[in-house]
Amino acid sequence: MGVSKPQIDLLPWDPDSSEHVERLYQQRRACGWNKQAVEEWRSLQRDGKIALHWVVLPASDPSTASKLNVHTTAWPAESTTISDSCTNFGGKPRIPHPERVFVPVGHISLDSENEDPEQADAIRGIYRISSFYISTALQSAGIGGATMDAIERYPGKKERWEAKMADGIVEPPKVQNANVKQFSNQDWYTRRGYEVSGYRDKMWSETDSKGTVWYLTQVKMRKDIKGSSFHDN
Protein backbone atom coordinates (compact mmCIF):
# COMPACT_ATOMS: atom_id res chain seq x y z
CA MET A 1 0.00 0.00 0.00
CA GLY A 2 1.58 3.27 -1.13
CA VAL A 3 2.17 6.28 1.06
CA SER A 4 -0.30 9.08 0.32
CA LYS A 5 1.04 12.43 -0.79
CA PRO A 6 0.90 15.33 1.68
CA GLN A 7 -2.01 17.71 1.27
CA ILE A 8 -1.62 21.49 1.38
CA ASP A 9 -3.79 24.57 1.01
CA LEU A 10 -2.69 27.84 -0.57
CA LEU A 11 -3.99 30.99 1.14
CA PRO A 12 -3.25 34.58 0.07
CA TRP A 13 -0.61 36.63 1.84
CA ASP A 14 -2.10 39.89 3.10
CA PRO A 15 0.33 42.79 2.45
CA ASP A 16 -1.76 45.09 4.66
CA SER A 17 -1.67 42.88 7.75
CA SER A 18 1.17 43.51 10.20
CA GLU A 19 0.95 39.87 11.32
CA HIS A 20 1.26 38.58 7.75
CA VAL A 21 4.14 40.93 6.97
CA GLU A 22 6.05 40.01 10.12
CA ARG A 23 5.55 36.29 9.50
CA LEU A 24 6.93 36.67 5.99
CA TYR A 25 9.98 38.50 7.40
CA GLN A 26 10.47 35.61 9.83
CA GLN A 27 10.30 33.02 7.09
CA ARG A 28 12.62 34.94 4.79
CA ARG A 29 15.13 35.19 7.64
CA ALA A 30 14.82 31.43 8.12
CA CYS A 31 15.25 30.96 4.38
CA GLY A 32 18.48 32.93 4.56
CA TRP A 33 18.05 35.51 1.83
CA ASN A 34 15.94 38.28 0.29
CA LYS A 35 14.19 39.44 3.45
CA GLN A 36 14.86 42.99 2.28
CA ALA A 37 12.42 42.45 -0.60
CA VAL A 38 9.35 42.04 1.62
CA GLU A 39 8.46 45.74 1.56
CA GLU A 40 8.59 45.80 -2.24
CA TRP A 41 6.48 42.64 -2.38
CA ARG A 42 3.75 44.42 -0.44
CA SER A 43 3.12 46.90 -3.28
CA LEU A 44 3.51 44.22 -5.97
CA GLN A 45 0.93 42.04 -4.18
CA ARG A 46 -1.51 44.95 -3.91
CA ASP A 47 -1.12 45.66 -7.64
CA GLY A 48 -1.69 42.03 -8.59
CA LYS A 49 1.75 41.68 -10.18
CA ILE A 50 2.61 38.83 -7.85
CA ALA A 51 0.35 36.30 -6.15
CA LEU A 52 2.16 35.29 -2.99
CA HIS A 53 0.51 32.44 -1.10
CA TRP A 54 1.01 30.88 2.28
CA VAL A 55 1.55 27.13 2.31
CA VAL A 56 -0.88 25.76 4.91
CA LEU A 57 -1.36 22.22 6.19
CA PRO A 58 -5.10 21.38 6.25
CA ALA A 59 -6.74 20.80 9.62
CA SER A 60 -8.49 17.74 8.19
CA ASP A 61 -5.17 15.91 7.76
CA PRO A 62 -4.44 13.74 10.84
CA SER A 63 -0.68 14.36 10.44
CA THR A 64 -0.98 18.16 10.53
CA ALA A 65 -0.69 18.52 14.31
CA SER A 66 2.55 16.54 14.50
CA LYS A 67 4.04 18.36 11.50
CA LEU A 68 3.17 21.75 12.98
CA ASN A 69 4.80 20.69 16.24
CA VAL A 70 8.01 19.87 14.36
CA HIS A 71 7.86 23.22 12.58
CA THR A 72 7.16 25.37 15.64
CA THR A 73 9.75 23.54 17.75
CA ALA A 74 12.36 24.53 15.19
CA TRP A 75 10.91 28.05 14.72
CA PRO A 76 9.10 29.01 17.97
CA ALA A 77 8.58 32.61 16.83
CA GLU A 78 6.20 31.22 14.18
CA SER A 79 3.99 29.30 16.59
CA THR A 80 1.21 31.91 16.78
CA THR A 81 -1.65 31.73 14.30
CA ILE A 82 -2.55 34.35 11.72
CA SER A 83 -5.95 34.76 10.06
CA ASP A 84 -7.21 34.74 6.49
CA SER A 85 -7.55 38.51 6.12
CA CYS A 86 -6.62 39.29 2.50
CA THR A 87 -9.29 41.47 0.81
CA ASN A 88 -7.65 41.92 -2.60
CA PHE A 89 -5.80 39.22 -4.49
CA GLY A 90 -4.56 39.03 -8.07
CA GLY A 91 -5.73 42.60 -8.56
CA LYS A 92 -9.34 41.66 -7.72
CA PRO A 93 -11.51 42.02 -4.60
CA ARG A 94 -11.58 38.94 -2.40
CA ILE A 95 -13.82 37.99 0.52
CA PRO A 96 -11.60 37.14 3.52
CA HIS A 97 -12.39 34.42 6.05
CA PRO A 98 -11.02 35.81 9.33
CA GLU A 99 -12.49 32.92 11.29
CA ARG A 100 -9.93 30.67 9.59
CA VAL A 101 -6.66 30.84 11.51
CA PHE A 102 -3.53 28.96 10.57
CA VAL A 103 0.22 28.57 11.02
CA PRO A 104 1.87 28.73 7.58
CA VAL A 105 4.79 26.37 6.99
CA GLY A 106 6.07 28.17 3.90
CA HIS A 107 5.16 30.44 1.03
CA ILE A 108 5.29 30.59 -2.77
CA SER A 109 4.53 33.25 -5.36
CA LEU A 110 3.15 33.05 -8.88
CA ASP A 111 4.26 36.23 -10.62
CA SER A 112 2.27 37.55 -13.57
CA GLU A 113 4.61 40.44 -14.37
CA ASN A 114 8.37 40.99 -14.33
CA GLU A 115 10.82 43.56 -15.70
CA ASP A 116 12.09 40.69 -17.87
CA PRO A 117 9.05 39.53 -19.91
CA GLU A 118 10.78 36.21 -20.57
CA GLN A 119 10.33 35.45 -16.86
CA ALA A 120 6.75 36.63 -16.39
CA ASP A 121 4.31 38.11 -18.88
CA ALA A 122 0.65 37.27 -18.30
CA ILE A 123 -0.37 38.58 -21.72
CA ARG A 124 1.79 35.89 -23.34
CA GLY A 125 0.82 33.30 -20.74
CA ILE A 126 4.17 33.15 -18.94
CA TYR A 127 4.13 33.01 -15.14
CA ARG A 128 7.09 32.92 -12.81
CA ILE A 129 7.19 30.66 -9.77
CA SER A 130 9.33 32.47 -7.21
CA SER A 131 9.97 33.16 -3.52
CA PHE A 132 9.42 29.48 -2.77
CA TYR A 133 10.20 28.41 0.79
CA ILE A 134 9.19 25.44 2.93
CA SER A 135 10.12 25.29 6.61
CA THR A 136 13.59 23.77 6.95
CA ALA A 137 12.14 21.50 9.66
CA LEU A 138 9.69 19.97 7.18
CA GLN A 139 11.77 19.73 4.02
CA SER A 140 12.04 16.26 2.44
CA ALA A 141 8.53 15.48 3.73
CA GLY A 142 6.88 15.95 0.33
CA ILE A 143 5.33 19.32 1.18
CA GLY A 144 7.38 21.14 -1.46
CA GLY A 145 6.22 18.75 -4.15
CA ALA A 146 2.59 19.09 -3.06
CA THR A 147 2.97 22.88 -3.18
CA MET A 148 4.33 22.76 -6.70
CA ASP A 149 1.50 20.45 -7.76
CA ALA A 150 -0.97 23.06 -6.50
CA ILE A 151 0.76 26.13 -7.95
CA GLU A 152 1.18 24.46 -11.35
CA ARG A 153 -2.60 23.95 -11.47
CA TYR A 154 -3.22 27.58 -10.54
CA PRO A 155 -2.91 29.16 -14.01
CA GLY A 156 -6.16 27.55 -15.19
CA LYS A 157 -8.27 29.01 -12.38
CA LYS A 158 -11.53 30.32 -13.82
CA GLU A 159 -11.10 33.38 -16.02
CA ARG A 160 -8.17 34.85 -14.13
CA TRP A 161 -5.33 32.85 -15.66
CA GLU A 162 -4.74 31.45 -19.13
CA ALA A 163 -1.15 30.41 -18.67
CA LYS A 164 0.50 28.14 -21.19
CA MET A 165 3.89 28.25 -19.51
CA ALA A 166 5.24 28.51 -16.00
CA ASP A 167 8.77 29.70 -15.38
CA GLY A 168 10.48 28.27 -12.31
CA ILE A 169 13.45 30.24 -11.05
CA VAL A 170 16.06 28.26 -9.16
CA GLU A 171 16.89 30.38 -6.14
CA PRO A 172 20.27 30.42 -4.40
CA PRO A 173 21.02 28.01 -1.56
CA LYS A 174 21.98 29.18 1.90
CA VAL A 175 25.75 29.57 2.07
CA GLN A 176 26.18 30.29 5.77
CA ASN A 177 26.43 26.58 6.63
CA ALA A 178 29.17 25.63 4.18
CA ASN A 179 29.75 22.24 5.86
CA VAL A 180 26.15 21.13 5.32
CA LYS A 181 25.40 19.20 2.13
CA GLN A 182 23.38 21.47 -0.13
CA PHE A 183 20.17 20.38 -1.82
CA SER A 184 20.16 20.88 -5.60
CA ASN A 185 17.18 23.01 -6.57
CA GLN A 186 17.99 22.55 -10.24
CA ASP A 187 17.90 18.75 -10.02
CA TRP A 188 14.60 18.93 -8.14
CA TYR A 189 12.98 21.11 -10.83
CA THR A 190 14.41 18.86 -13.55
CA ARG A 191 12.72 15.84 -12.01
CA ARG A 192 9.45 17.77 -12.19
CA GLY A 193 9.82 18.25 -15.95
CA TYR A 194 11.41 21.72 -16.05
CA GLU A 195 14.11 22.48 -18.60
CA VAL A 196 16.85 25.09 -18.42
CA SER A 197 15.96 28.17 -20.46
CA GLY A 198 18.86 30.42 -19.50
CA TYR A 199 21.43 31.58 -16.98
CA ARG A 200 22.42 34.88 -15.41
CA ASP A 201 25.81 35.08 -13.73
CA LYS A 202 26.25 36.88 -10.41
CA MET A 203 22.52 37.43 -10.04
CA TRP A 204 22.84 37.35 -6.24
CA SER A 205 25.55 37.59 -3.65
CA GLU A 206 25.63 36.29 -0.10
CA THR A 207 28.19 36.86 2.63
CA ASP A 208 29.01 33.98 4.97
CA SER A 209 29.87 34.18 8.67
CA LYS A 210 33.57 34.72 7.82
CA GLY A 211 32.84 37.68 5.58
CA THR A 212 33.43 35.83 2.32
CA VAL A 213 31.16 36.96 -0.52
CA TRP A 214 29.65 34.18 -2.64
CA TYR A 215 28.29 35.08 -6.05
CA LEU A 216 25.42 32.94 -7.27
CA THR A 217 24.14 32.21 -10.74
CA GLN A 218 20.45 32.35 -11.55
CA VAL A 219 19.21 29.29 -13.43
CA LYS A 220 15.97 29.89 -15.31
CA MET A 221 13.85 26.80 -15.95
CA ARG A 222 10.62 26.44 -17.90
CA LYS A 223 7.81 23.91 -18.19
CA ASP A 224 4.67 23.67 -20.30
CA ILE A 225 1.52 23.68 -18.17
CA LYS A 226 -1.53 22.03 -19.73
CA GLY A 227 -5.02 21.20 -18.53
CA SER A 228 -4.74 23.34 -15.42
CA SER A 229 -7.36 23.61 -12.68
CA PHE A 230 -7.24 24.98 -9.15
CA HIS A 231 -9.42 24.71 -6.08
CA ASP A 232 -10.38 28.11 -4.71
CA ASN A 233 -9.68 28.30 -0.97
For the chain, domain boundaries: 9-224
pLDDT number for residue 104 = 98
The CATH label, of 3.40.50.2000, 3.60.70.12, 3.40.630.30, 3.40.50.1100, for the domain at 9-224 is: 3.40.630.30
Q: Is 163 a residue whose pLDDT tops 50? A: no
Q: How far apart are the first and last CA of the chain?
A: 30
Q: Is 116 a residue whose pLDDT tops 70? A: yes
pLDDT number for residue 209 = 72
Top mean-pLDDT range of 18-22, 193-197, 209-213: 18-22
Q: Is 83 a residue whose pLDDT tops 80? A: yes
Mean pLDDT for the chain? Answer: 81
pLDDT in tens, 50-81: 999 999 999 999 999 999 999 999 999 999 99
DSSP of the chain, one letter per residue? -PPPPP--EEEE--TT-HHHHHHHHHHHHHHTS-GGGHHHHHHHHHTTSEEEEEEE--TTSTTHHHHHHHHHHH-GGG-S-EEE---EETTEE---EEEEEE---EEEEEESB-SSTTT-BGGGTEEEEEEEEE-TTTTTSSHHHHHHHHHHHGGGSTTT---SEEEEEEPPPP-S-TTSPPP-HHHHHHHTT-EEEEEEEEEEEEE-TTS-EEEEEEEEEEEE--S------
Q: Is 158 a residue whose pLDDT tops 80? A: no
What is the distance between the alpha carbons of residues 216 and 233, in angstroms, rounded to a whole number?
36
Average pLDDT of span 198-203: 76
